[in-house]
Amino acid sequence: MKKTVTKKREKPVTHEIIYYGHETLKKVADEVMNIDGPVVELIDSMFNVMYRSKGIGLAAPQVNESLRIITVDASDDTKSVIVELVNPVIKEFSDEDGPYDEGCLSLPGLTGEVFRPLRLMVAGYNRDGSEVEFEADGLLARVIQHEVDHLNGILFIDRLEDYMRNEMRPELKKIKKLNKRS
């Protein structure tokens, strides 16, 4: 009898974006206790989802993983600004704030002007488990604040005036349904 070798196919880690209305987006995400293989895989998967969706930032809860991890690519033509942070903590904010038209992969099609501090100091860990701390301004500071909000169950629309959010209601209803497709 011929021995047949069936190659066991490793199941690839696939993550999909979840949308407004999903329970995971409302939760305060858990601290990562140990930066191990699965965490590094999750970070890689998050970058994949982020780039595939043409996003500039992603928080783990957006792929239904309630963990304190964010990925950011705030690069422009002149410089590459790619950041991954595990257990990020914003330690300082500038007094000066400003508006920016924000969007979110979990709220497709919607944008709204959000005021936030323009500069900050953030600390966290990278995939090697090394502690990192740096100052950020411009788009990077903006995206970090938006993503850290996700870790606390906050969406950018929660920071808009009530009347603005009310105007979005029909759109929000449609977005909610995207969660039920699968």
Rg (CA), the chain: 18
- In whole angstroms, how close is the CB of 150 to Zn ion at the nearest point? 6
Q: CB of 12: closest distance to Zn ion in angstroms? A: 24
State the number of binding residues for Zn ion (CB under 5 A): 1
Reading the block at residue 42, the tokens are 């999750």
Residue closer to Zn ion, measured from CB, 35 or 143: 143
- Looking up tokens 């970070």, which residue turns up? 43
Span 150-169, contacts to Zn ion by CB under 5 A? none
- The widest CA-to-CA distance across the chain, in whole angstroms, is 77
- Give the 3-state secondary structure of residue 163: helix
Write each residue from 15 to 44 as x if it is in contact with Zn ion (CB under 5 A), else as -, in one continuous string: ------------------------------
* 20 CB-contact burial (10 Å; exposed 0-12 / middle 13-18 / buried 19+): buried
Residue nearest to Zn ion (CB): 104
Least separation in angstroms between residue 7's CB and Zn ion is: 39
Cβ(63)–Cβ(49) under 8 Å? yes
Indicate the Cα dihedral angle 91, 150, 124, 137, nearest 10°: -60
Per-residue binder mask for Zn ion (CB under 5 A), 47-86, x = binder: ----------------------------------------
Alpha helices in the chain (DSSP H): 37-52, 138-151, 162-167, 169-177
Contacts to Zn ion from residues 94-133, by CB under 5 A: 104
Contacts of 152 (CB under 8 A, 6+ apart): 28, 29
147 catalytic per annotation: yes
Q: Which of 147, 161, 167, 171 is catalytic?
A: 147
Which lies closer to Zn ion via its Cβ, residue 131 or residue 158? 158
**Where does this chain bind Zn ion (CB under 5 A)?**
104
The residues assigned a catalytic role are 147
